[in-house]
Structure 1
Amino acid sequence: MMQVVQPRGLRRAAAAAYLGISPSHFDKELAAGNVPAPKLLFGVTLYDRHDLDALFDGKPAAAAANDNDADWWDRECATENRHT
């Protein structure tokens, strides 16, 4: 039996279809910051299926991209003192 592999990275049209919207509406929502930013992988712009799932589950785009902002270590690393 052949196993079906679902790609994690989706190109623009596939990402829009995955969310059930048109590519042009996807572009508008991306420009408005409502869709998680794509990743560049091997020279190809791809949208992470996990980020799109989080968006569909009601998490804002920023939360979908990094949902561990409440983590103490992440906050400490983000506030690095560049003068030392």
Structure 2
Amino acid sequence: MGRAPQLDHPSRIEVAPRRGLRREEAARYVGVSPTKYDEMVRDRRMPKPWRIDGCVVWDIRKLDAALDSLLDDGEVNEWD
């Protein structure tokens, strides 16, 4: 068997963990659509982002805390 072809360009998949997430990434991390995520930021269920120059990013630690808070407020039993 022959060798697998080599790519001329590096993969666009990032494997390094990051603390700051862009909007779409934050929504995916939380498990909702970007539109739903925007709603959750507006009603303060999710934290506000911070701006780094022209980039708007969310702190993954604050996302974790917000998710924990949602669970504490109204845990959902998947069997109900």
TM-score range, shorter chain: 0.5 to 0.7
Q: Which residue in the other structure is 1:15 paired with?
A: 26
Post-superposition offset of 1:58: 1.3
Give the % identical residues.
38
2:38 matches 1:57: no
The residue type equivalent to 2:57 in the other structure is L
CA RMSD of the aligned region, Å?
1.3
Distance 2:52 2:58 in 1: 10
Q: Which residue in the other structure is 1:46 paired with?
A: 57
Larger radius of gyration: 2
The structure with higher relative contact order (CA 8 Å, sep 6+) is 2
Aligned pair count reads 56
| Dislocated runs of 4+, deviation >3 Å | none
Unaligned runs of 5+ in 1: 60-84
Q: How does 1:28-43 map to 2 (within 5 A)?
A: 28-43=39-54
Question: If the length of structure 2 is used for normalisation, what is the TM-score?
Answer: 0.64
Tell me the alpha carbon deviations over residues 5-64 of structure 1, each in whole angstroms, 9 at most, x when there is no partner.
Answer: 2111000010000001111100111111211010111321000000001111117xxxxx
Unaligned runs of 5+ in 2: 1-14, 71-80
Question: If the length of structure 1 is used for normalisation, what is the TM-score?
Answer: 0.61
